Structure 1
Amino acid sequence: MTENNTFHQTIKEIETNSRVYLMHNYIQHGSITTYDHCLSVASMSYWLNRKFHLHSDEKQLIRGAFLHDYFLYDWHHYEGNLHGFSHPHTALINAREDFMLTRKEENIIRSHMWPLTFWHYPQSREAVIVCLADKIVSTKETLFKRKKIA
C-alpha cells in the first residue's frame, strides 16, 4: 500500500462499523466533533511517525489513534467519575465490543491520557506517538477552534 492508501484504507475499515457515525453527534473541543478530533489525532500520529521516521506499525497506530476517544457520549454532560480519568477505559470497552484489537491498540487507547492516568502508561512507540498527537491536537482545538458567539 502507498502511504496515503494506508491511512485512508485503515480509516475506511474502521468507519464500516455501525457505531462510529455516533462520534459525529458529540462535541469534543470548541466546535470540533469527537469524530473530527479522532481523525485529526490519527492524521497527526501518522504525520509524526512519517516526519520523524519513527517506524511504528502504521495500521495499529492509526487504529489506536482513531479509537482513542471512542467513548460515545457527550462528556460536557457527564455525571460519572471525572471524564479525563475514566474515558480511556470507556473508549476501550466500546472499541473491544466493535473491533478485534491487538494488545498494542488496547494500550494506545488506555494510555492516551498519560500522565493524567499515570497507572496506564504508554508501552509502545505507537502509544507514545498517539499520546503526544492527542496533546497537540487537543491544545490546538481548545485554543483556536472555539465556537463563535453570534
Structure 2
Amino acid sequence: MSKAMGSRYSVETSKESREYFEYVKDLLDNEVVSEMKKFRHHYSTTCYQHCLNVSYYNYIVCKKLGLNAKAAARAGMLHDLFLYDWRDEPRKKGELPHGFTHPRIALENAKEHFELGKVEEDMIIKHMWPLTVKLPKYAESYVIVMIDKYAAMLEFGVHCKNVLSNTVSNIKHKKAA
C-alpha cells in the first residue's frame, strides 16, 4: 500500500485518491519507476517515496487550481527518475552538482520509458528552478517547484521526529537500566 507522507489516504484504495491512482497506476507498476525504491533521497526517504509525495500533493494543488492535474501527478512521479544515489556518485571535474544536473537526467529517463506531453516535460526539467535558470513555462511547473520543496521539508520533519523519538527512547532505556 502506497501513501504520501502526511496523508491519511492510501493512493490505491481510498475513494479520495481514486482519480489520482488512475493517472499514475501504470507508473507505480513500472519496473523502472520501482527501481527508485533502491535509492535514498532525503535522509531515510527513498527516491520513490519522495516522488510519490511530490506526485500526490502536486496533483491535489493543481486540481484545486483548475490546472492539468493528470500531468501534475505523472510529472511528480517522474521528476527525480535519475536512478542512482547522488551521494555516492563522484562528480567529474567541472561538472555541476546534482541539484543542477538531475532534472535533465530524469527527463531523459522519463522520455525513454514513457510518452510525455510538453507540460510534463517542462515540469520535470524545471522542478529545481531557480537552479535550472530558465523560467518555468507553465503554471503547473511553478506548482511542482513549490511542492518539491514542501515534500523535502516534510521528509526532513519526519526524519527529525524519528531521530528525536529514538533519542528519547534511548534515554528512557538507559534510565531504566
Deviation, structure 1 residue 63: 0.6
Q: What do the CA deviations read for 1:37-64 (whole angstroms, capped 9, x no partner)?
A: 00001111122234xx311111111111
CA contact (8 A) 1:27 1:74 kept: yes
Which residue is equivalent to 1:79? 90
Answer 1 or 2: higher relative contact order, Cα 8 Å, separation at least 6. Answer: 1
1:133 to 147, 156, 159: 147
**Aligned-residue offset at 1:122:** 1.5
One-letter identity of the residue aligned with 1:58: A
Partner of 2:50: 37
1:144 to partner: Cα distance: 3.5
For residues 101 and 3 of structure 1, the distance between their equivalents in structure 2, rounded to whole angstroms, comes to 25
User: What is the TM-score with the length of structure 1 in the denominator?
Assistant: 0.88
Matches within 5 A, 1:14-29: 14-29=27-42
Q: State the TM-score, normalized to the length of structure 2.
A: 0.76
User: How far has the Cα of 1:65 moved from its partner?
Assistant: 0.9
Unaligned runs of 5+ in 1: none
3-state SS of 2:41 partner: strand
User: Are 2:119 and 1:104 aligned?
Assistant: yes
Secondary structure of 1:28's partner?
Answer: strand
1:113 CA drift (Å): 0.2
Q: CA deviation at 1:69?
A: 0.3
How large is the RMSD of aligned CA atoms in angstroms?
A: 1.9
Q: Distance in 2 between matches of 1:28 and 1:5?
A: 27
Q: How many residues end up aligned between the 2 structures?
A: 146
Q: Provide runs of 4+ in structure 1 moved above 6 Å.
A: none
SS where residue 92 of structure 1 aligns? Answer: helix
**3-state SS of paired residue (2:31):** coil
Is 1:70 the equivalent of 2:81? yes
CA distance in 2, matches of 1:6, 1:130: 19
SS state at 1:19 partner: helix
- 1:3 Cα shift? 6.0
* Unmatched tracts of structure 2, length 5 or more: 1-14, 171-177
Which amino acid is 1:62 matched to? Answer: A
